[in-house]
Structure 1
Amino acid sequence: MVWLLLGVATGTIVATLVAVSAGGGGQERSPVFALADTSTSTATPALESTTSTSEPIDSTTSTSLPPVEAGGSWTVLVYFLADNNLEEAVFGDLHELARIPDSDSLHLLALFDRAAGFSEADLPGVGNWESAKVLQTRSGFFTEIEDLGEANLGDPAVLGAFLANGMARYPADHYALILWDHGWIYGVGADDSHNDVLTPPELASALEAARQQTGVERIDIIGFDACLMGALEVAHWVAPYAHHMIGSEDVVPNAGWDYEAFGYLVDYPAAAGEGLAREIVA
């Protein structure tokens, strides 16, 4: 199939089509993109900005990141909006993350919001629950970092706090944020308990809040393991906050990405965002 790698710089969008083999024994996987900044673009976005009614993230206490040592390091944060009928599919992706070898230069964090009435599966080391938990995987095991209760993952304040707090806890040379769920051009989600989705303008709001709290102008990668998010209208909103974007032009199988692809960072901790993006879509 064909993956679209998007580069956006100085207000100009350049699209490159890259042909790759389909994974999973011929089962198609979603197209994925890589991006850059549209902050100087004068193009009119196709989506209108909305005014969020959520509480802003408290920025009174700075979480500006300490310097990191040279040599290359990554923090990968995965936002599983799974309070819906896709919940059970998360477990396969979490186990893929757990199979990645340990490395002092790679930190893997996940926020997993579960649903009532869809799956009773246990996660080793954590058990069964219905709330939203921040998890870390290391040595093949999962550790609960924080229980957020019945959080609304369709609220940009929750996303912004997860990103900022994860970056503050594990400062690195490079950062990747992956959002996992249903998706389409008008947003990613939904969080069924709150009947809420993250719209592209709300994604920008969350990324801006994390930027203000951490001082990191742009993360390396924002990725959407979700259907139909690979659109220029989405790219317009997130490009000022990430060097590369990965997203699908088509539907995504329930199994989603191959998260073991992040093991590339164990062998190449100083890898640039483009290198990781190409590894993910290969």
Structure 2
Amino acid sequence: MWIAADNDLEKYVSQDLEEMKENPSWIEVFAMVDYASASDTLYRVESDLVPLETFNEIDSGDPEALSSFLKEYRGNDLSFLVIWNHGDWWRGEAQVKTKGVAYDVKNSDFLSVKEIKNVLKNSPVTVLGFDACLMGTFEILWELKDCAKYIVTSSREIPAEGWNYTALKKASDLSSLLYGIVQKYHESYGESVSLSVWDTSKLDDIMYWLNRISQYMREKDLSPWDFVVERRTVENVPTELIELGSFAEALYGSSDDTLRYYGEKLHGAIVSARIYGTPEGYRDLLIYLPENMKNPEYWDDFSALSDFITDSFWDDLISYWRDRD
């Protein structure tokens, strides 16, 4: 557990640590907690909290600190890294307001998607989880697909109380743990929130059909802005993110037989890659499509995504329509 609580979420740490107690013998929990008002502490979570070490101050937005923690405490056979904090997807590598996860107010730092990838790419974990808002974008999954076998994310805002970690208590293996995390989340918050477990080995199919769609739309001079899709809002303010499943479904209504076929294939690939999720039937996967194709601040942002911009034609399609009426 990488608990970046040097911010306004500090008061929720104790509840989550309490939920992690009394986990089964096959699960060892180590939690590095960066507090705002107390000494930062590394715990082993058993029937009680066992402090292993205290620190005057760690920077939970420093990838080197995360790397050192993982080298010392990750499991040999199975490893599950949860990054706990505010999340704000990937956009903004070239902007003043860069977006990422694990915000450390005291150090004015955070972890970018690129930094997380650099920490994990040579020593991937079994599961990478984000107990943080808006990290469920296809771009993030694609950038981190070689960093974990499974990635747990939400495309929506996550309540301040976060995941329900009592799921650890009844887990008998990895599959039941992943399923339990999703189910406990649903039990805690109902249908107004979302959480999904993604099989990274199946992301290639999503990329394949997204690329077929992007190439075809460019060849036929078709704009992605012409389709009615679900746009993600945060506190009733629209973001630059759309629900990728809703885009696939919008293609069903096209008069173009090829687009209809591609849309069905894209939708099926998303369903296949999402092995557990709440709400059931919801796709819970976002992708970047700015509201305004003429706004210049959007166009440098793909520099945050080295793998995605290499492998995807989606950014090429967006750039093709830049500044056009």
Q: TM-score range with shorter-chain normalisation? A: 0.5 to 0.7
Of all paired residues, the percent bearing the same amino acid is: 31
Match of 2:165 in 1: 259
Q: Does 1:115 align with 2:22?
A: no
2:27 pairs with one of 90, 94, 106: 106
CA 192–165 in structure 1, closer or farther in 2 if over 3 Å, else same: same
Match of 1:3 in 2: none
- In 1, are the aligned partners of 2:4 and 2:85 still within 8 Å (CA)? yes
In the alignment, the residues of structure 2 paired with residue 232 and residue 148 of structure 1 have an alpha-carbon distance, to the nearest angstrom, of 36
Per-residue Cα deviation, 1:199-238 (whole angstroms, up to 9, x for no partner): 00001112136x2xxxxxx322100000101111211222
CA RMSD of aligned residues (A): 1.5
Q: Cα distance, 1:275 vs. partner?
A: 3.9
Distance of 1:264 and 1:237 partners within structure 2: 32
Report whether the alignment pairs 1:134 with 2:42.
yes
For 1:106 and 1:246, locate their aligned partners in 2 and report how far apart those are by CA, in whole Å: 18
Q: What is the total number of aligned residue pairs between the two structures?
A: 174
Question: Does structure 1 residue 151 correspond to structure 2 residue 64?
Answer: no
**Where is the strand percentage greater, Structure 1 or Structure 2?**
1
Alignment match, 1:88: 11
1:163-174 equivalent positions in 2, closer than 5 A: 163-167=70-74, 171-174=75-78
Q: Deviations over 1:61-88 (max 9, x none)?
A: xxxxxxxxxxxxxxxxx11000001000
Structure 1 runs of 4+ with >6 Å offset? none
- Residue number in structure 1 paired with 2:84: 180
Distance, in Å, in 2 between the alignment partners of 1:153 and 1:108 is 18
Letter in 1 for 2:32: L
Whole-Å Cα distance in 2 between the matches of residues 237 and 262 of structure 1?
A: 28
2:182 alignment partner in structure 1: 281
Matched to 1:132, the amino acid is D
- Greater relative contact order (Cα 8 A, min sep 6): structure 1 or 2? 1
Distance 2:134 2:62 in 1: 20
The one-character-per-residue Cα deviations of 1:144-178 (angstroms, maximum 9, x if unpaired) are 112233111101111111111102xxx44211000
Q: Does 1:192 align with 2:105?
A: yes
Amino acid at match of 1:153: S
| Higher helix content, 1 or 2 | 2
CA distance in 1, matches of 2:146, 2:17: 29
2:13 and 2:141 map into 1 onto residues whose CA distance is 25
Structure 1 contact 132–149 (Cα < 8 Å) conserved: yes
CA distance in 1, matches of 2:182, 2:39: 31
Shift of residue 92, structure 1, vs aligned partner:
0.6
Counterpart pick for 1:240 among 135, 143, 146: 146
1:252-273: CA deviations, max 9, x gaps?
11111010111233xx1xx24x
**Larger-Rg structure:** 2
* Distance in 1, Cα, partners of 2:82 & 2:170: 16
Structure 1: segments with no counterpart, 5+ residues: 1-77, 117-129, 212-217
Separation in structure 2 between the aligned mates of residue 102 and residue 176 of structure 1, nearest angstrom: 15
TM-score norm. by structure 1 comes to: 0.59
Q: What residue identity is the alignment partner of 2:52?
A: I
Say if 2:69 is the partner of 1:162. yes
- C-alpha contact (below 8 Å) 1:222/1:242 kept by paired residues: yes
Tell me if the contact between 1:185 and 1:233 (Cα under 8 Å) persists in the aligned partners: no
Q: In structure 1, what is the Cα distance between the partners aligned to 2:42 and 2:66?
A: 12
Distance 1:132 1:159 in 2: 14
- Inter-CA distance 225–155: structure 2 relative to 1 (3 Å threshold): same
Q: Does the CA-based 8 Å contact 1:221-1:245 persist in structure 2?
A: yes
> Could you tell me how far apart the structure 1 residues matched to 2:55 and 2:78 are?
26
C-alpha distance in 1 between matches for 2:39 and 2:142: 32
Is 2:83–2:102's contact at 8 Å kept on the other side of the alignment? no
Q: Distance in 1 between matches of 2:59 and 2:117?
A: 17
Paired amino acid for 1:253: P
Q: CA deviation at 1:101?
A: 4.2
Of 199, 205, 210, 2:118 maps to: 205
Q: Secondary structure at the match of 1:236?
A: helix
For the residues of structure 2 that align with 1:183 and 1:101, how far apart are their CA atoms?
27
TM-score computed with the length of structure 2 as normaliser: 0.51
